[in-house]
């Protein structure tokens, strides 16, 4: 029995070893020494072909370095006859130094240098320069060539497309569509075009992107790269949170003793609040935690994310367009690379965020009625109707059935409705209408639009994420004037002018309801950029929807 058991364990062990050996195991690098330097390039070519073929299943080099863009490299080298790109006759091309310098300063482009094999390629380059035996090894040169190319492919993808696209749409995944882009770029390096100049050409030419990169250089020079204790808030374990909070405060130079009572704690928190311009209530609340967490490293992450968001815009922006940046609470109207005017906005609350939208203004409505969205009816109005059926009349709303006929709200049994109602709720046009005097329409699936408001006092607030999702515009008159003027300027001589600035102002003065079709639609971009360049420095905004924090955790969790 003992022998059988021992035999059984032996068989199981051998099966396990056999199974483990089926997993990826980096092969040993085989030497291919070449004593005649004139033959080195041909030997490198043969080794590159062999390495690319051997890496087909694992997508690793023989020394276990992962090739992040194997499919791209396979395409590149096949179409280049497997020739080496980065050396000739045992000498590096000038572009090797440029590549290393660019990666070493990748932070100035919002990138992280270790994403591009920085440690490995430095080590390989130095060993081939200093080790006389390795310098004669064609396999070492082949591996170096491939890893340098993989690093450049990663740079190209991140500079051109960024890192926020779904993997299925990434340059690295759809080789049939994007490999020619990489190949054409690599061919320019092969013929000796300077790499640093080439890398500038693949980046966005957007005005804001360029200005943000310039400001980033200044920010990076004085950046505190220290990694501080991160505080998750709200915390599930209050005791553990308090210990981490004390540690984080000590990193700020504020020591909170182990036996500090609530009064002492409050005093020390007030010191921190006063130092950073926060309301001095002495409470360990959201504002204090967000300030503690918003270190220079976190700011750099937000800059990196914002630079990548520019890469998701069209390569060339329209000559005229409307730009709404939600965290800044501002709208800008751009014309020929110049801001025509700026307006404060009010955007959606965190519970009803304004979505990202690319569209165009196609219609303006003066003295609009407001049809209440179903989401607002469910959340806000139905509970009010259940309490008092006169709720709508008091608020200036009326009820419509499917035929558009007005219905008496007091005659409805509202208790039977839980998920919605088979009626429309509207608010008539006028000065008290929630949409104000004018509404700017554009195609979108969210029932969102730009509009005036009857609560204009809210524009005095600093934080203006207060709406149900639509964007309220303080300078609506300027926006309407810009749209009217653009239609007038671009009107063909044979086209009748159905409205102008004077007619718009006359209709408003007379409180007339009008729907005006915009002949020359104005492109609209509603975006979420948590920082932007302002007078040579970077201005950061509150991450009102937590969008950039989520993107950081998703794409840069280890940064």
pLDDT greater at residue 394 or residue 77? 77
Domain formed by 318-369+428-528, architecture = Beta Barrel (2.40)
Of 19-28, 197-206, 438-447, the least confident:
19-28
In the predicted structure, residue 4 carries a pLDDT above the cut 80: no
Q: What is the mean pLDDT of residues 258-266?
A: 92
CA 120 to chain centroid, in Å, comes to 29
For 480, the 3-state DSSP assignment is: helix
Q: What is the mean pLDDT of residues 350-362?
A: 97
Q: What is the mean pLDDT of residues 476-494?
A: 89
Q: If we measure between CA atoms, which residue out of 435, 510, 446, 528 comes closest to residue 476?
A: 435
Total Cβ atoms within 10 A of residue 307: 25
What pairing do the DSSP bridges indicate for beta strands 465-467 and 338-348? parallel
What pairing do the DSSP bridges indicate for beta strands 465-467 and 471-473? unpaired
Return phi, psi of residue 317, to 5°. -75, 155
Residues 80-138: pLDDT tens digits? 999 999 999 999 999 999 999 999 999 999 999 999 999 999 999 999 999 999 999 99
Rounded distance, CA 77 to CA 55, Å? 13
Residues 309-330: pLDDT tens digits? 999 999 999 999 999 999 999 9
Rounded distance, CA 245 to CA 235, Å? 11
In the predicted structure, residue 21 carries a pLDDT above the cut 90: no
Element holding 443 (H helix, E strand): none
Q: What is the mean pLDDT of residues 301-305?
A: 97
Residues 212-251: pLDDT tens digits? 999 999 999 999 999 999 998 888 899 999 999 999 999 9
Q: If we measure between CA atoms, which residue out of 160, 93, 151 comes closest to residue 123?
A: 151
Rounded distance, CA 479 to CA 449, Å? 13
Confidence of residue 176 (pLDDT cuts 50, 70, 90): low
Total Cβ atoms within 10 A of residue 196: 12
Phi-psi region of 424 (alpha: psi -120 to 50; beta: other; left: phi over 0): beta
Q: Tell the burial category of 358 from Cβ atoms under 10 Å away from its Cβ (0-12, 13-18, 19+).
A: middle
In the predicted structure, residue 535 carries a pLDDT above the cut 60: yes
In the predicted structure, residue 402 carries a pLDDT above the cut 60: yes
In the predicted structure, residue 14 carries a pLDDT above the cut 50: no
CA 127 to chain centroid, in Å, comes to 39
**C-alpha distance from residue 243 to each of 46, 240, 249, 266 (Å):** 60, 5, 10, 15
Residue 173 is predicted with a pLDDT of 67
In the predicted structure, residue 453 carries a pLDDT above the cut 50: yes
Residue 493 is predicted with a pLDDT of 74
Evaluate the CA torsion angle 187, 190, 192, 198 in order and state its sign: positive
Confidence of residue 175 (pLDDT cuts 50, 70, 90): low
Residues 197-218: pLDDT tens digits? 999 999 999 999 999 999 999 9
In the predicted structure, residue 449 carries a pLDDT above the cut 60: yes
End-to-end CA distance of the chain: 56
In the predicted structure, residue 464 carries a pLDDT above the cut 70: yes
Rounded distance, CA 515 to CA 449, Å? 15
Evaluate the CA torsion angle 206, 163, 309, 450 in order and state its sign: positive
Rounded distance, CA 32 to CA 51, Å? 13
Rounded distance, CA 353 to CA 464, Å? 12
Return phi, psi of residue 467, to 5°. -95, 180
In the predicted structure, residue 538 carries a pLDDT above the cut 60: yes
Confidence of residue 429 (pLDDT cuts 50, 70, 90): confident
Q: What is the dihedral of CA 551, 554, 557, 559, to 10 degrees?
A: -50
Helical H segments across 325-462, by residue range: 374-376, 382-387, 391-395
DSSP E strands, 84-212: 87-88, 91-92
Length of the chain: 559
In the predicted structure, residue 494 carries a pLDDT above the cut 80: no
Element holding 359 (H helix, E strand): strand 357-366
Q: What is the mean pLDDT of residues 63-81?
A: 90
Q: If we measure between CA atoms, which residue out of 71, 87, 187 comes closest to residue 135?
A: 87
Q: If we measure between CA atoms, which residue out of 409, 391, 389 comes closest to residue 399?
A: 409
Q: If we measure between CA atoms, which residue out of 282, 252, 287 comes closest to residue 269?
A: 282
Residue 3 is predicted with a pLDDT of 47
Task: Give percent of the chain with pLDDT exceeding 90.
Answer: 68
Rounded distance, CA 319 to CA 358, Å? 15
Rounded distance, CA 148 to CA 167, Å? 23
Q: What is the mean pLDDT of residues 484-491?
A: 89
Residues 541-554: pLDDT tens digits? 999 999 999 999 88
Q: Which residue has the tokens 């639609």?
A: 521
Q: What is the mean pLDDT of residues 35-58?
A: 92
In the predicted structure, residue 10 carries a pLDDT above the cut 80: no
* Contact (CB, 8 A) for 452 and 436: yes
pLDDT greater at residue 18 or residue 59? 59
pLDDT greater at residue 499 or residue 197? 197
In the predicted structure, residue 29 carries a pLDDT above the cut 70: no
Confidence of residue 502 (pLDDT cuts 50, 70, 90): confident
Radius of gyration of the chain (CA): 31
Q: If we measure between CA atoms, which residue out of 99, 117, 71, 74 comes closest to residue 198?
A: 99
Residue 64 is predicted with a pLDDT of 76
Mean pLDDT, rounded, of the chain: 89
Residue 61 is predicted with a pLDDT of 81
In the predicted structure, residue 256 carries a pLDDT above the cut 50: yes
Confidence of residue 32 (pLDDT cuts 50, 70, 90): confident
Q: Sketch the domain layout of the chain as residue ranges.
A: 26-203, 227-294, 318-369+428-528, 375-426
Residue 167 is predicted with a pLDDT of 74
Element holding 439 (H helix, E strand): strand 438-442
């Amino acid at each position: 029995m003992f022998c059988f058991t021992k035999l059984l364990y032996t068989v199981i062990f051998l099966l396990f070893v056999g199974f483990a050996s089926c997993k990826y195991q980096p092969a040993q690098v085989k030497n291919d020494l070449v004593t005649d330097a004139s033959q080195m390039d041909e030997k490198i070519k043969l080794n590159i072909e062999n390495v690319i073929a051997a890496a087909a299943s694992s997508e690793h080099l023989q020394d276990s370095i992962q090739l992040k863009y194997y499919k791209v490299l396979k395409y590149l080298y096949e179409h280049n006859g497997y020739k080496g790109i980065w050396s000739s006759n045992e000498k590096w091309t000038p572009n090797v130094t440029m590549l290393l310098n660019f990666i070493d300063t990748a932070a100035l482009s919002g990138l992280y240098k270790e994403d591009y094999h920085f440690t490995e390629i430095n080590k390989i380059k130095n060993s081939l320069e200093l080790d006389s035996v390795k310098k004669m090894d064609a396999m070492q040169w082949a591996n170096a060539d491939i890893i340098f190319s993989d690093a450049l492919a990663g740079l190209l993808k991140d500079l051109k497309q960024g890192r926020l696209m779904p993997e299925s749409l990434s340059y690295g995944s759809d080789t049939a569509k994007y490999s020619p882009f990489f190949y054409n770029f690599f061919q320019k390096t092969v013929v000796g075009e300077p790499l640093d100049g080439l890398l500038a050409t693949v980046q966005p030419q957007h005005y804001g992107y360029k200005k943000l990169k310039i400001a980033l250089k200044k920010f990076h020079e004085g950046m505190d790269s220290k990694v501080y204790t991160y505080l998750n808030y709200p915390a599930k374990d209050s005791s553990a949170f308090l210990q981490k909070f004390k540690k984080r405060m000590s990193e700020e130079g504020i020591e909170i003793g182990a036996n500090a009572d609530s009064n002492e704690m409050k005093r020390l928190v007030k010191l921190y609040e006063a130092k950073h311009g926060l309301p001095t209530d002495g409470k360990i609340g959201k504002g204090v935690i967000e300030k503690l967490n918003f270190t220079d490293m976190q700011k750099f992450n937000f800059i990196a994310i914002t630079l990548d968001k520019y890469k998701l815009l069209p390569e060339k922006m329209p000559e005229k367009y409307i730009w709404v940046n939600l965290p800044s609470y501002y709208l800008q109207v751009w014309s020929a690379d110049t801001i025509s005017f700026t307006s404060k906005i009010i955007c959606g609350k965190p519970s009803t965020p304004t979505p990202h939208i690319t569209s165009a203004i196609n219609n303006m409505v003066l003295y609009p009625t407001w049809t209440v969205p179903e989401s607002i009816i469910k959340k806000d109005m139905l509970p009010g109707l259940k309490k008092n059926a006169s709720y709508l009349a008091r608020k200036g709303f009326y009820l419509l059935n499917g035929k558009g006929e007005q219905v008496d709200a007091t005659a409805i049994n509202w208790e039977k409705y839980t998920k919605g109602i088979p009626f429309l709720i509207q608010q008539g046009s006028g000065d008290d209408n929630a949409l104000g005097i004018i509404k700017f329409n554009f195609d979108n699936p969210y029932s969102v639009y730009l509009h005036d408001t009857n609560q204009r006092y809210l524009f005095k607030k600093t934080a203006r994420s207060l709406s149900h999702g639509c964007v309220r515009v303080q300078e609506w008159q300027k926006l309407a004037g810009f749209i009217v003027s653009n239609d007038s300027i671009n009107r063909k001589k044979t086209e009748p002018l159905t409205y102008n600035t004077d007619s718009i102002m006359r209709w408003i003065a007379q409180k007339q309801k009008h729907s005006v079709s915009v002949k020359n639609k104005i492109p609209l971009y509603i975006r979420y950029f948590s920082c932007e360049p302002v007078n040579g420095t970077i201005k950061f905004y509150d991450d009102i929807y937590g969008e950039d924090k989520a993107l950081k955790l998703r794409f840069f969790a280890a940064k």
